[in-house]
Amino acid sequence: MKERALTCIVCPRGCPLTVTLGEGGEVLSVTGNACKRGVEYATTECTAPRRTVTTTVRCECGGVISVKTASTVPKEKIFEVMAHINRTVAPKSSKIGDVIIEDVAETGVAVVVTANRANR
């Protein structure tokens, strides 16, 4: 058995978590969490960590507009996700929720616009 200390990133409370791992790296128990999302986070974090990526994308109008991955992507693919987004251009009339990439960097996750106007 092994113990691993984590900081939960699900909400601003940032609970200090202690995870007990079995021989095969499986999660045996999670303590320190204030809610059940902490257990979920600790389990993914110890097996296959995932993150939401937020960034900007070039817009046809010449400015930039903010975007995010519609859900989390594997942590080790963050820079591939960034590279894909940076090769993309958003249409002029982009609005919150518009999908600009359906499957970013083969993660199966979409990239959506998070603002109603581009900045230039």
CA-CA distance, 30 to 41, in Å (whole number)? Answer: 10
CB 111, CB 54: distance < 8 Å: no
Q: Residues 2, 3, 16, 102: which binds another protein (CB under 8 A)?
A: 16
CA-CA distance, 42 to 111, in Å (whole number)? Answer: 25
Binding to another protein (CB under 8 A): which residues in 61-120? 63-64, 66, 68, 75, 78-79, 82, 96, 114-117, 119-120
Comparing CB distances to another protein, the nearer of 22 and 87 is: 87
Q: Residues 29, 54, 88, 93: which binds another protein (CB under 8 A)?
A: 54
Task: Tokens 């609005």: give the residue.
Answer: 95
CB 112, CB 106: distance < 8 Å: no
Q: Which residues bind another protein (CB under 8 A)?
A: 6-12, 14, 16, 51-56, 58, 63-64, 66, 68, 75, 78-79, 82, 96, 114-117, 119-120
